[in-house]
Amino acid sequence: MDGRNSPWMWLRPGMHVKRWLLLLMAGIVLISLGLAYLLRQLYADLTFPAAFYYLTLQFLSRPVRAILLGTLGVSIVLLALVQLNRALLNPFVSPSQANVAERVYQHHRRRRGPKIVALGGGTGLSTLLRGLKQHSDNITAIVSVADDGGSSGKLRQATGMLPPGDIRQCLVALSEEEGVTGQLFQYRFGDQYGLGGHSFGNLFIAAMSEIAGSFEQGVVESSRVLAVRGRVIPSTLKQVTLAADLRVESAHEGHGWQRVVGESAIPTAQREIVRVFLEPETAPAYPEAVKAILQADLIIAGPGSLFTSVLPNLLVPGIAAAIRASKARRLYICNVATQPGETAHFDVDAHVRALRQHVGDLFPVVLANDHLLPSQGEMAHLEPVALPAGQPTDYTLLTADVVDEEHPWRHDSAKLAQAIVAIYQEPAR
């Protein structure tokens, strides 16, 4: 029999079942003792027909009767428990799902998982969360709210709400079941519906925010709909705009710098980024984000677009201050491929330098991919992010194979999560 389907799996450590099973057995024993005392008294006081001699097995010795009746009783109790379990749970478990015992075990294992805070935005953060949710339910995703493009930008401009796009992706990534509901939230309307470019999830969050009375409560209610493991929160509730100073070196424009305003406009400028900053620079951090950081066991920045996804969170002063004050282990995950318009020709060192130039030495440990694959197809122009060429670094560089074999410009969710868990379980360096 497959071990995963064995009834003995309910007795594995961490199931939180054995204590209640023992309590049930103790209750049955006490009830049995009470009945035994009652029957003994009735047997002494009343006269029974001769047939009761055989029905009560008095022709057997008392030890044999005790063993026989005890074995029969335990067998009946176990059979009843198995059948009761099936009868109660079958309506709620589909045939495609893992067996109940395995699901219960994984649930309790994840509940005991470390408190993880992940900061970022876009596809990188959702990829990370999709892997981490298999190891812990105690995940807080802190998401950038500087997005001003696409559906998020339209909703932000039309309603004044915070951009929901990155938050939507993280909600779907942390969802208990990324099935039809996840596909629904990611569905993007075409022009034929008059909602060109909008995703259903963005509109849902917008509507839920109106119903719930605030954006943050709208996200909470959306999390319940998607059965999210952990939570997703913005880095700030203040409307912020990401701006960048770009280096200009051209025969026509001379030498100097150019300021670009708007997250979506920065990569399209195709110039070297000198610095990025938020407007206003004093946007207050969301208190729940600060609280999560201070209570965390592990804080992760990245992966994702360095200048337009990772840094916008860290540029919120309260967020950076909370990370500095936190006693958690802190890890920066470097991208596996460069990004045109942001990090062209960047190696791992260049990523770390840019990060430090903006927010200081917040992340002493860096995880980088060491399984470099050539980019293909539409992404053939991308370069793998190279490791430092043998020179010593003033940060702890850890490497692992974390790349998606089919999409070599992205991380593999499962590989990345396994590498992070391994780093967390190692003694601090």
Of all residues in the chain, what percent are helix, strand and coil, respectively (each to 5)? 50, 15, 35
Mean pLDDT for the stretch of residues 330-345: 94
Residue pair 268/351 in contact (Cβ under 8 Å)? The answer is no
Fold type of domain 114-144+278-429? Rossmann fold (3.40.50)
- Over the chain, what is the mean pLDDT? 86
Q: Find the DSSP H helices in 242-347.
A: 265-268, 287-295, 311-314, 317-325
The string of DSSP letters for 199-265 reads: BHHHHHHHHHHHHHSSHHHHHHHHHHHTTBSSEEEES-SS--EEEEEEEEEETTTEEEEEEEESTTH
Band of pLDDT at residue 59, cut at 50, 70 and 90: confident
Ordered by start, the domain boundaries in the chain are 3-107, 114-144+278-429
Residue pair 135/421 in contact (Cβ under 8 Å)? The answer is yes
Q: In this predicted model, which residue has the larger pLDDT, 351 or 80?
A: 351
Q: Worst-scoring range by mean pLDDT, 50-54, 86-90, 385-389?
A: 86-90
Q: In this predicted model, which residue has the larger pLDDT, 142 or 62?
A: 142
Return the CA Rg of the chain. 30
Indicate if the pLDDT at residue 378 is higher than 60. Answer: no
Q: In this predicted model, which residue has the larger pLDDT, 165 or 195?
A: 165
Mean pLDDT for the stretch of residues 41-57: 75
The string of DSSP letters for 80-149 reads: HHHHHHHHHHGGG--TTSPPHHHHHHHHHHHHTS--EEEEE-HHHHHHHHHHHTTT-S-EEEEE-----S
Mean pLDDT for the stretch of residues 16-24: 75
Question: pLDDT, tens digit, for every residue of 401-422?
Answer: 999 998 888 999 999 999 999 9
Mean pLDDT for the stretch of residues 283-308: 96
